[in-house]
């Protein structure tokens, strides 16, 4: 594989992930492990976290940090395993006026990483189906229906913000009336959901 081929392949990988890529992906594109330090010194790459880089000339998007930590929550094979959830999912869907101080990511039960968890992240462990997520540029976010289930169980959002988020989701059609009725009747969820909603709807 020529240098140009490797660069094009790495660019395609990074472009699908907000400009970020892993050391493993660079190797798959044809870059030797020994060349990483050269590209850092030359200003071609920027090290963002252990084993995660960014193409220096790739324009940063508004949601760049979500792509970065979405890649961080990958397994050893490089498959993304995490999805933004809870308060962060509300924020990404533009629901409520919540401004969470940490990025909430849900990873599968049994998921483990070596090393410290970045301070900006709050990890939750639960199994989430692909259909419950929306794919974005380099990361995924849990859709509102499942997010409301998670928030009811976690009990970390005040009723005021919770009601606001549900109302906005219904108004925008990203939570259907059928889903709303399901939430009210779900075992171990419905009772608390109805308490949170009160007579708001």
What order of strands is seen across the sheet that includes strand 133-135?
A: 121-125, 103-107, 83-84, 140-142, 133-135
* 67: helix, strand or coil: helix
Average pLDDT of each block of 10 consecutive residues along the chain (201 residues)?
81 93 93 89 95 94 92 83 96 92 94 85 95 93 98 95 96 97 95 85 48
Distance separating alpha carbons of residues 200 and 77, to the nearest angstrom: 46
Per-residue model confidence (pLDDT) at position 179:
98
d(CA 54, CA 47): 7
Spatial contact of 129 and 192, defined as CB atoms under 8 Å apart: no
Q: Which two tokens stand for residue 167?
A: 């109302």
Q: Give me the pLDDT at residue 199, please.
A: 59
- Find how far residue 61's CA is from the centre of its chain: 15
CB 14, CB 20: distance < 8 Å: yes
> DSSP label at 33?
G
Sequence ranges of the domains in the chain: 3-55, 64-197
Amino acid 165: pLDDT: 97
């Amino acid at each position: 594989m020529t240098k140009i081929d490797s660069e094009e392949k790495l660019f395609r990988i990074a472009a699908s992930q907000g400009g970020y890529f892993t050391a493993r992906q660079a190797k798959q594109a044809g870059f030797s492990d020994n060349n990483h330090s050269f590209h850092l010194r030359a200003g071609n790459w920027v090290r963002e976290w252990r084993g995660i880089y960014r193409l220096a000339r790739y324009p940063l998007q508004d949601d760049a940090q979500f792509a970065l930590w979405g890649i961080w929550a990958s397994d050893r094979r490089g498959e993304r395993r995490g999805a933004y959830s809870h308060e962060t999912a509300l924020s990404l869907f533009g629901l409520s006026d919540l401004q969470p101080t940490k990025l909430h990511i849900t990873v599968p039960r049994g998921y483990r990483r070596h090393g410290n968890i970045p301070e900006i992240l709050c990890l939750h462990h639960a199994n989430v189906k692909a259909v419950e997520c929306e794919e974005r540029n380099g990361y995924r976010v849990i859709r509102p229906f499942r997010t409301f289930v998670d928030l009811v169980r976690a009990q970390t959002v005040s009723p005021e913000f919770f009601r606001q988020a549900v109302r906005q989701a219904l108004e925008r059609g990203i939570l259907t009336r059928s889903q709303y009725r399901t939430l009210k009747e779900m075992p171990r969820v419905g009772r608390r959901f109805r308490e949170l909603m009160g007579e708001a709807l």
